[in-house]
Amino acid sequence: MEFRSVIKNAVFYDPFNNFQKTQRPTDIRVDPLTGRSSRIIYFPITLPPPADQSRLAEVTKQFCPFCRPAVFEKTPRFPEEIIKEGRLTRGSAVVFPNAFPYDAHSAVAAVTEGHYVKMDAFDVRELEDGLLAGCEYLRRVNALYPQCVHLSINMNYMPTAGGSILHPHMQLIAGDLPTNYQREHAGLFLEYRKAHGTDYFSDLIDQEERRGQRFIARTKNIVWLCSFAPLGIAEFLAIFEDATPIIQTDESVIQDFSLGMATVLRYLASMNFASFNMALFSAPTDSRAFPTHARIVPRTLLPPVGASDVNYLEMLHHEVLTIIKPEESAKGAATLFKGVFGG
Ligand SMILES: [Zn+2]
């Protein structure tokens, strides 16, 4: 497994430094599985503390369809043949059809009872309820439509990450057609196993544990890492070690993941992030073909003008830019994980 990094230096006379001749590096890193590169650039900014959203929360709460009791009155209901109860509930979570679906089986889980939850204040129990209710939905859809093998639980938290409703919610998809990520990775996981006789994630864990630079923690069931070539400004990868599909797994595994996820979110909040995307991927049965794993990427607007963190390079070249070294994120998160999980 190769962790390839190429440093490219740009040389210029620097107006910020008396026009001294300056050399500035770009670290171009190639993902060991996909061969896709990400660039870590020099851009010395500090994120300011996030804007206070409590006013927006107050306003949007008035007409929020995910708050109780509106969630039981204003959200769509499933046809009886899919979910006979109309909606699925579990603790704080309510699952209902996505009124603006992304696929034939596309649902939303309103996760929390509270309308506005700050990123460092997620109740682990509420995350668990959302994820377990999501798993239950995917399990039922897969039982009825076994061809829907591409399962995912996803999250756009806050408008900066594409969330159009403030109330924390997850999006569930069970499709017979894979997304680009699912198709490419299914092929790459298979190719890797054919070429090496081992599973990619097992080898990645071995490598990262030995190197120690991007390894965050091994909790009961999950290994947490920062990716060498991140898919966003920072990227946290959770690999489910026994790789059991999420629709078959023990609840304790989802509980373990929820605690790890809440810990990552607390770490990101400490870095002044206030928004993130999450995707938890799984196959229904053959976890070797598509091992269960999740990725969490913070989102932000860049000062001073609030520029998007996605520009032409990612949008059109499919090349992620970041200003944060994965090794630094891993180190910071590892301290927090130690406090939460011990070890
Ligand atoms: Zn709400």
Residue 102 pLDDT > 80:
yes
pTM: 0.97
- 133 found inside a domain: yes
- Closest by CA position to 339, among listed 238, 260, 268, 256: 260
- Tell me the C-alpha distance between 4 and 288, whole Å: 26
Same domain, yes or no: 36 and 181: no
Residue 166 CA to ligand 1 centre (angstroms): 7
Residue 154 CA to ligand 1 centre (angstroms): 18
- 155 found inside a domain: yes
- Closest by CA position to 130, among listed 66, 185, 186: 66
Residue 168 CA to ligand 1 centre (angstroms): 8
Same domain, yes or no: 295 and 254: yes
The answer to whether 109 and 95 have CB atoms below 8 angstroms apart is yes
Q: Chain centroid to CA 121: how far?
A: 17
Residue 80 CA to ligand 1 centre (angstroms): 26
- Tell me the C-alpha distance between 219 and 124, whole Å: 15
Residue 333 CA to ligand 1 centre (angstroms): 30
- 46 found inside a domain: no
pLDDT tens per residue across span 108-167: 999 999 999 999 999 999 999 999 999 999 999 999 999 999 999 999 999 999 999 999
Same domain, yes or no: 90 and 200: yes
Which residues on adjacent β-strands are paired with residue 157?
Answer: 276
When divided into structural domains, the chain yields a total of 2
Residue 114 CA to ligand 1 centre (angstroms): 7
Residue 64 CA to ligand 1 centre (angstroms): 4
- 47 found inside a domain: no
- Identify the residue whose tokens are 């377990």: 132
The answer to whether 234 and 298 have CB atoms below 8 angstroms apart is yes
Same domain, yes or no: 35 and 80: no
Query: Token digits for 281?
Result: 């991927």
Same domain, yes or no: 195 and 244: yes
- 45 found inside a domain: no
Same domain, yes or no: 156 and 17: no
Query: Token digits for 157?
Result: 């938290």
Find the domain containing 248 and state its range. 54-341
Which residues on adjacent β-strands are paired with residue 121?
Answer: none
Query: Token digits for 68?
Result: 């109780």
pLDDT at 55: 95
CA-to-CA dists, residue 229 to 18, 109, 309, 312, angstroms:
34, 31, 16, 18
